[in-house]
Amino acid sequence: MTTLTDPPKESFRLSMLIYDTRYRSTTFQVIALIGFLTLIGWLFNNTAQNLADLGKEPSFRFLGEPAGYDINQRLIDYDSQSPHLRAAFVGLLNTLLVAVLGCITATILGVTIGVLRLSKNWLVAKVMTLYVEIIRNVPVLLWIVLTMAVMIENLPSPKDFRGEDPAATMQVFDSVAVTNRGIYVPEPLFTRGLGDAHLFGNSAMNFNISLDLWLVIAVLIAGFFVSAKIRKRADGIQEATGERPSTWYLRLGVIVVPLIITFVALGFHLGYPELKGFNFQGGTHMRNSLIALWLALSIYTAAFIAEIVRAGILAISHGQTEAAAALGLRPGKIMKLVVLPQALRVIIPPLISQFLNLTKNSSLAIAVGYMDITGTLMGITLNQTGRELETVMLGMLIYLTISLLISLVMNWYNERVKLVER
C-alpha cells in the first residue's frame, strides 16, 4: 500500500530575499525606506551642524519672547508685548477665517455659475462662460491687488459721512458703514450674558471665549439634530405609505423658536457703529484687506468650481433628466432632486483640491497687508528673530495640518453622499 505524504517544506535562506518572488518586492521596499530615512537623517544632521557652526542652534525659545509688533485684524486679544507664539496664533485664526469664509462663498458662487453655464438661455450661458474664462486665466494675486485697489479708490472715507449734507451715508437702516477702511457692521451684544471663559490659564495662548456664543451654537446644533430626526421620520412614512407628510414648519420651528427664546433670555441687542472723531467706533470692523482677500479668493476659486460642477452635471445620463421630466418634475426640481445628488460623486473629489488651493492661496494675504500666519510667523517673526528654519517648518506644519483636516472632512462627506450599490 502506498502512503502519500506532504513534501518537506523548504527551509528559509537569505538568498530567498532576492531571488524568491514572495519576498523580493518587500526586500526592495525595505531597502528603499532605509535609504530614504538615511538621506533625511543626513540632511537634518547636516543642517543642525551648519546652524551650530553659525551659532544658531535649532531652538523654539523665541516663541516666548515679546513680539514687538501690532496686528490690525485679530479675533482675540493681542498687543505688541504679547509673545511670538500668540502672534502666530492670531495669524492662524486669521488664516482659518479667510479659508472658511472663502470656501463657503466660493462653493455657493461656483455651484450657481456652473448650473447657469448649462442654461438654455443663450445670453446667461455666454455671460457665465465669459466669467469663467476671464477669472481663471488671470493670476489670483492680481485679483487680490485689484480688489484692494478698487475698495481704496472708490469707496468713501469716514470724513465723507460728516456734515448736514454728507457725501456718503450708512446703509441698511443706518446700521452698516461701507468705507475705504473697511466695513462696519452691527455687533451682537447681550445685556444678561453668561460672560466669558478663560482657556489655557495665564499662558501665552490664553484667550477668552464667549459662553453666550457657545450657548447659541449649542442651541443651533440641537435644533438641526431634531430637524434631521423629523426628516428621517418623514422619509420612513413616505417609504411605508408612499405619501410624504408636510414637515417644513416643524423643522423650521425646532430651529428658530429655541434660538429666539435663547436670544430673549440673554437680552440680545445690536451695537451700531457711530462716527466719532476721524473714524467709526463700535460695531464689528471688517478691514478692507480681509474683504479684498476674501472676495478675490472666492471669485477666483468659484470659476474652477463652476467647471467642476458643470462637468459633474454633464456626467449624468440625459436619460435621468428625461425620466424625471416624464414624471412631471419641473426643471428646478430635476436639478435639485435628481441631477445634483448623483453629480456629487463626481464633484466632491476635485472640489477638495479647490478648497485646499484656496486655503494655501490665502498666504498671498501679505500683498494687501492682511496678517495671516504667513505674515506673522513666517514674516515679521522670521525677520525679527532670524529663525528661518524654525518659522518656515512651523508654517509648513500648520498648512499641512489644515489641508489634511479639510481633506478628512470632505472625504467623510464624500463617503456619506456616494451611491451605495446593492
Per-residue pLDDT reduced to its tens digit, 367-385: 888 999 998 988 899 888 8
- Specify whether 262 is located in the same domain as 294: no
**Grid cell in block for residue 418:** 456616494
Q: Which of 259, 149, 174, 256 is nearest to 212 (CA)?
A: 259
Residue 137 lies in a domain: yes
Residue 256 lies in a domain: yes
- Specify whether 343 is located in the same domain as 392: yes
Q: What is the CA radius of gyration of the chain?
A: 29
Q: Is 83 helix (H, G, I), strand (E, B) or coil?
A: strand
- Tell me, what's the pLDDT at 207? 67
- Tell me, what's the pLDDT at 417? 67
How confident is residue 335, by pLDDT bands cut at 50, 70 and 90? confident
How confident is residue 103, by pLDDT bands cut at 50, 70 and 90? very high
Residue 184 lies in a domain: no
**Grid cell in block for residue 171:** 446703509
Please report the beta strands in 108-262, taking only residues with DSSP state E, as ranges in sequence order: 177-179, 182-185, 187-190, 196-199, 207-210
- Tell me, what's the pLDDT at 307? 93
- Tell me, what's the pLDDT at 206? 66
- Tell me, what's the pLDDT at 333? 79
Say yes or no to pLDDT of 109 above 90. Answer: yes
Which residues are bridge partners to 280 per DSSP? 275
Average pLDDT (125-144) is 93
- Tell me, what's the pLDDT at 202? 59
How confident is residue 340, by pLDDT bands cut at 50, 70 and 90? confident
* More confident position, 166 or 132: 132
What are the tens digits of pLDDT across the range 261-282? 999 998 888 888 888 878 888 8
What are the tens digits of pLDDT across the range 31-45? 899 999 999 888 888
Say yes or no to pLDDT of 315 above 70. Answer: yes
How confident is residue 5, by pLDDT bands cut at 50, 70 and 90? low
- Tell me, what's the pLDDT at 7? 59
Average pLDDT (12-26) is 75
DSSP 365: G
Going by C-beta distance under 8 Å and a sequence separation of 6 or more, which residues neighbour residue 162? 275
What are the tens digits of pLDDT across the range 68-97? 888 888 888 888 888 888 899 999 999 999
| Burial of residue 285 (number of CB atoms within 10 Å: 0-12, 13-18, 19+) | buried
- Specify whether 244 is located in the same domain as 297: no
> Backbone dihedral region of 201: left (phi > 0), alpha (psi from -120 to 50 degrees) or beta?
left
The CATH number assigned to the domain holding 296 equals: 1.10.3720.10
> What DSSP assignment string belongs to 281-319?
ESSEEEEHHHHHHHHHHHHHHHHHHHHHHHHHHHTS-HH
Say yes or no to pLDDT of 295 above 90. Answer: yes
Say yes or no to pLDDT of 156 above 70. Answer: yes
Total domains in the chain come to 2
Average pLDDT (328-356) is 84
Give the residue numbers spanning the domain of 231: 190-268
- Specify whether 297 is located in the same domain as 364: yes
What percentage of the chain has pLDDT greater than the value 70? 94
Computed from CA positions of residues 123, 127, 129, 130, in that sequence, does the dihedral angle turn out positive or negative?
A: positive
Average pLDDT (159-176) is 83
- Tell me, what's the pLDDT at 167? 80
- Specify whether 263 is located in the same domain as 292: no
Average pLDDT (310-336) is 83
- Specify whether 321 is located in the same domain as 372: yes
- Specify whether 294 is located in the same domain as 411: yes
- Specify whether 257 is located in the same domain as 307: no
Cβ–Cβ under 8 Å, residues 254 and 229: no
Q: H or E stretch including 361? A: helix 340-361
pTM of the model: 0.82
What percentage of the chain has pLDDT greater than the value 90? 30
Please report the beta strands in 11-101, taking only residues with DSSP state E, as ranges in sequence order: none
How confident is residue 127, by pLDDT bands cut at 50, 70 and 90? very high
